[in-house]
Amino acid sequence: MDLFDISEVLGGKVLKNILGIIFIVYILLSSSIFLRNFCECLQIVYYPSTNIIFVILFFIIAICIVNHLQFNASLKANLIFVPFVLISIIFLFCANLRYFTPQRIFPILGNGLFDTFILGIGNIYALNGVVFIYFLPPLLKEPEKLKKIAISSVCISSAYLILSVSIILFMFPFFTGIDEIIPLYTAATYVEFGSFFQRLESIFLLIWIIAFSCYLSIVNKFAMLLFKKITNIKHSKPLIFPFAIIILAISLIPKNYAISKFYEVHIYRYFMIGVVFVLGIVVLALSYFKEKKKKVIKNE
Amino acid sequence: MNKIVRNIFILIVILVLLLAFVPSYTSLNIDNLAYVIAIGIDVGKNEKFEICFQFTQNGSSGSESGQDQKSASIINTVEAPSLDAAINLMNSYLAKKINLSHCRLIVFSEEIAYRGIKDEIYTLTNNSETRPSTSIIISKCNAKSYLDNSSPILENLITKYYEIFPNSSKYTGYVYNATLGDFFNQLVCNNCEPFAILGGIHDNSFNENSKFEDYSDIKSSDNTFLGLRDSQNIGVAVFKGDKLVGELSASETLCLSIIKGDVESFYIRIPNPNDNNKKIDLLMYPDNSRKIDVDIINGSPYITYETKFSGKIYSIDEDSKFLDSDTLDNISQTANIYINDLLTNYLYKTSLVFESDINGFGNYCLSNFLTTSEFKKYNWLDSYSDSTFKVSIKTEIESSFLVTET
């Protein structure tokens, strides 16, 4: 059972459809914002004279091609490239160790107790990937292993995030409040081994571009699966182009990088917390209590 | 029919994408680019800056053949109100787009550095072409003269020379490779101050000014060398904020290298404990286990620095007994006192004379505070001048090299 099935038990088809629309909007919105921000960085570094729409279009075409293949194809592509991403970040961490100033972890409370522990809760949006755990059970060969899969994927994501944040925090005194792509790219420009291995940032960027394409295709696939589930349509393939066009359209809404970043930092993060951590958990908790109540009544 | 439509659609998409990426390809095409290998920034006569760009001549830069021929470099100069304006003007003059991705050196004249170089450093860091490993040099003479006189002696390529000259810091400690990335980080952080390589040119002659109390007191532009190249890089230019406030001599630069852990071995000349009239030359190896603590006592920083050195004896005479443990202990003791004094004097110079924490002790002070606002309120950069230093050195001279006794 995934979150939709649970919500159907809790509030019938109405709740299932409402939840479905909210989650589809959330997934399309998040992928569009990330796509725009990633392409902005790409444009700054490599395509200064190319309109952003064409850079975004490259990813959109990749999404369409991958999703035209079977779901297994995108999963296998992910299986191949995710280790490369992990290795690239570990490599980036190790190669830049000599530039680290570990003392930058202090003052330990950062901008103060309130800022760190109350306002800092907003940073939980970095773990936005947990949304897929809600919809994972029907896709698993062995759904009983969901707990194990969920814990291990959260652990891997957290370790990956900690490594990325450590690189930025320990290397730069000025990037800590901004996004993660440009600082990591900047960190990659520091990687040099003698005069032979230099300018490795291109390789890093290539790995990140492939990984990002994989992420987008998986996200788009999930959006299509959710739509298929709430509308009971037979095939999801006709949805590929409409969904890809929606992602393209949303990613083109922000006028510039500043506005796109504003959406991500000030709007998206709270929307994500509301949808993934509040709405999802509330639905799960209410269903749990409803089931428990049913059992108690049954026993009586 | 469907297949034909699909193929036409794919063809159109490919064509559109190809055409869309043509401008980026054209602007980054090697035929349209002029690769700068060094930039020199001087005070202008009519404009704010006089900026010179050094290029290698086409055909000589990348060629591995023709080992006897040295690559010639071209220096073009332009007056402009800013670095970006200078690049723009130079693009127009060269009819090629200047690219900074191979720029190895950025030279500021001393005069510019005294005024402040914040804007230029920010601009260069913001440029996606510049590398963080680009060296920053503050030239005692004007930047153009420095570049004019920076011809490689032992290498064919000037880019190779620019790339390898800071490497001598690893075995001399007399130059510290200050890079654009480090300079920018130090400039924007509120717990350390930036520094740069001190460069200069000498007039290729020895005179009265060439005489020093200790040979390691030299700096760039002191007349210590006679050679084919007039430029030299010895010492460090110390900044407070973005303004130049002073210079470190060779021995003081060595102290900075020791504290930063950037030197692998270095040479010192200490008084011979067995004969006051003689000196003894040692090759020292710093231990990796250095310890830095910063405490706040009565509102002032109390900085303790501990490290260990091992060493070997270079100089030897007809009466050397370097297998005798008492002799080695005496030399160790003398070396200990010498290095201790050297480091202590250097540290007080940075705090009392320059009032600039180029050593980055502020990073070690951060743990004394719970929040960033408390640290900012303490104002480390201004409090550094009240610092008290305690240097603890442990030196162990192990032996000489091949000849142990005479």
Compute the distance between CA of residue B119 and CA of residue B184 in angstroms, rounded to an integer: 11
DSSP string, B252-282: HHHHHHHHHT--S-EEEEEEETTEEEEEEEE
The pLDDT score that the predictor gives to residue B61 is 46
Would you call B220 helix, strand, or coil by DSSP? Answer: coil
Q: What pLDDT digit, counting tens, does each position of B343-381 carry? A: 999 999 999 999 999 999 999 999 999 999 999 999 999
The pLDDT score that the predictor gives to residue A193 is 80
Instruction: Answer yes or no: is pLDDT of A73 > 60.
Output: yes
Name residue B80's beta-bridge partners: B49
Name residue B42's beta-bridge partners: B50
B371: nearest CB among A45, A112, A174: A112
Interface touch B363/A104, C-beta < 8 Å: yes
Measured between CA atoms, how close is A157 to chain B, in angstroms? 28
Tally of CA atoms within 13 A in the half-sphere of B394 that contains its CB:
8
Average pLDDT, rounded, for chain A: 87
Domain boundary (B236, B261, B286) is at: B261
Handedness of CA B84, B175, A168, A248 (dihedral sign): positive
The pLDDT score that the predictor gives to residue B110 is 93
Local confidence band at A91 (pLDDT 50, 70, 90 cut-offs): very high
The pLDDT score that the predictor gives to residue B206 is 65
Interface touch B372/A101, C-beta < 8 Å: no
A226 and A27 Cβ atoms separated by less than 8 Å? yes
Q: Helices in B28-109 by DSSP H: which ranges?
A: 83-94
Q: Chain B contact for A174, CB < 8 A?
A: yes
Residue whose entry in the numeric block shows the structure tokens 């270095």: B266
Please compute Rg for chain A using Cα positions.
Answer: 21
B363: nearest CB among A45, A101, A192: A101
Alpha carbon of residue A51 to chain centroid: 25
Compute the distance between CA of residue B39 and CA of residue A198 in angstroms, rounded to an integer: 21
Compute the distance between CA of residue A6 and CA of residue A138 in angstroms, rounded to an integer: 12
Local confidence band at B204 (pLDDT 50, 70, 90 cut-offs): low
Local confidence band at B233 (pLDDT 50, 70, 90 cut-offs): confident
Is B12 a member of any domain?
A: no
Strands B49-56 and B33-43: antiparallel
Interface touch B366/A190, C-beta < 8 Å: no
Give the pLDDT mean for B394-400.
83
pTM of the model as a whole: 0.88
* Phi–psi pair at B73, nearest 5 degrees: -120, 155
Interface touch A110/B20, C-beta < 8 Å: no
B132: nearest CB among A49, A103, A189: A189
Is B3 a member of any domain?
A: no
Compute the distance between CA of residue B305 and CA of residue B391 in angstroms, rounded to an integer: 5
Handedness of CA B361, B364, B367, B373 (dihedral sign): positive
B108 and B180 Cβ atoms separated by less than 8 Å? no
Instruction: Answer yes or no: is pLDDT of B63 > 50.
Output: no
Domain boundary (B230, B261, B292) is at: B261
Q: How far is CA B349 from CA B173, B283, B322, B342, B358, in A?
A: 18, 25, 36, 11, 11
B227 plus B357 within the same structural domain: no
Interface test with A, best of B24, B26, B130, B369 (most A CBs within 10 A): B24
Q: Which domain holds residue B346?
A: 265-406
Residue whose entry in the numeric block shows the structure tokens 């601009």: B123
Which chain B residues are within 8 Å of A99, Cβ to Cβ? 181
Domain boundaries A3-299, CATH class? mainly alpha
Q: Chain B contact for A108, CB < 8 A?
A: yes
Instruction: Answer yes or no: is pLDDT of A60 > 70.
Output: yes
Is B219 a member of any domain?
A: yes
The pLDDT score that the predictor gives to residue B216 is 66
Interface touch A190/B133, C-beta < 8 Å: yes
Q: What pLDDT digit, counting tens, does each position of A211-252 carry? A: 999 999 999 988 998 999 888 888 888 888 899 999 999 999
B371: nearest CB among A104, A110, A195: A110
Tally of CA atoms within 13 A in the half-sphere of A246 that contains its CB:
17
Chain B residue with the nearest C-alpha to that of A190: B132
B37 plus B78 within the same structural domain: yes
The pLDDT score that the predictor gives to residue B66 is 46
Strands B73-80 and B135-139: unpaired
Instruction: Answer yes or no: is pLDDT of A291 > 70.
Output: yes
Instruction: Report the b/e string of A219-228 with b at 16+ CB within 10 A.
Output: bbbbbbbbbe
The pLDDT score that the predictor gives to residue B184 is 93
Q: How far is CA B339 from CA A106, A115, B347, B362, in A?
A: 31, 45, 12, 23
Compute the distance between CA of residue B292 and CA of residue B357 in angstroms, rounded to an integer: 14
Angle between helices A240-252 and A201-231 (to 10 degrees): 120
Residue count of chain A = 300
Interface touch B370/A50, C-beta < 8 Å: no
The pLDDT score that the predictor gives to residue B404 is 67
Show the beta-strand stretches assigned E in B57-187: 73-80, 97-99, 105-109, 135-139
Instruction: Answer yes or no: is pLDDT of B149 > 70.
Output: yes
Would you call A222 helix, strand, or coil by DSSP? Answer: helix
Compute the distance between CA of residue A291 and CA of residue A297 in angstroms, rounded to an integer: 10
Q: Chain B contact for A173, CB < 8 A?
A: yes
Which chain B residues are within 8 Å of A185, Cβ to Cβ? none
A109: nearest CB among B13, B360, B371: B371
Name residue B99's beta-bridge partners: B35
The pLDDT score that the predictor gives to residue B232 is 83
The pLDDT score that the predictor gives to residue B222 is 66
Structure tokens at B80: 């402009």
CATH number for B280: 3.30.300.210
The pLDDT score that the predictor gives to residue A300 is 74
Local confidence band at B64 (pLDDT 50, 70, 90 cut-offs): very low
Please work out, in degrees rounded to the nearest 5, the angle formed at the alpha carbon of residue B153 by the alpha carbons of B152 and B158.
15
User: Could you report the predicted ipTM of this complex, rounded to two decimals?
Assistant: 0.84
Is B1 a member of any domain?
A: no
Chain A residue with the nearest C-alpha to that of B186: A173
B135 and B71 Cβ atoms separated by less than 8 Å? no
B130 plus B239 within the same structural domain: yes
Q: What pLDDT digit, counting tens, does each position of B242-279 carry? A: 999 999 998 999 999 999 988 999 988 888 887 778 88
Alpha carbon of residue A63 to chain centroid: 15
Is B14 a member of any domain?
A: no
The pLDDT score that the predictor gives to residue B209 is 60
B93 plus B242 within the same structural domain: yes
Instruction: Answer yes or no: is pLDDT of A78 > 90.
Output: no
Domain count, chain B: 2
Interface test with A, best of B370, B376, B381 (most A CBs within 10 A): B370
Measured between CA atoms, how close is A126 to chain B, in angstroms? 23
A189: nearest CB among B131, B363, B371: B131
The pLDDT score that the predictor gives to residue B208 is 62
B183 plus B214 within the same structural domain: yes
Chain A residue with the nearest C-alpha to that of B179: A190
Between A262-266, B101-105, B306-310, the lowest mean confidence (pLDDT) is in A262-266
Is B5 a member of any domain?
A: no
Local confidence band at B323 (pLDDT 50, 70, 90 cut-offs): confident
The pLDDT score that the predictor gives to residue A237 is 84
Is B56 a member of any domain?
A: yes
User: Domains of chain A: which residue ranges?
Assistant: 3-299
Q: What pLDDT digit, counting tens, does each position of A4-42 carry? A: 888 888 888 888 889 999 999 999 999 999 999 999 988
Give the pLDDT mean for A66-73.
82
Compute the distance between CA of residue B114 and CA of residue B108 in angstroms, rounded to an integer: 10
Domain boundary (B241, B261, B281) is at: B261
B235 plus B283 within the same structural domain: no
Compute the distance between CA of residue A149 and CA of residue A141 in angstroms, rounded to an integer: 12
| A and B: number of Cβ contacts within 8 A | 76
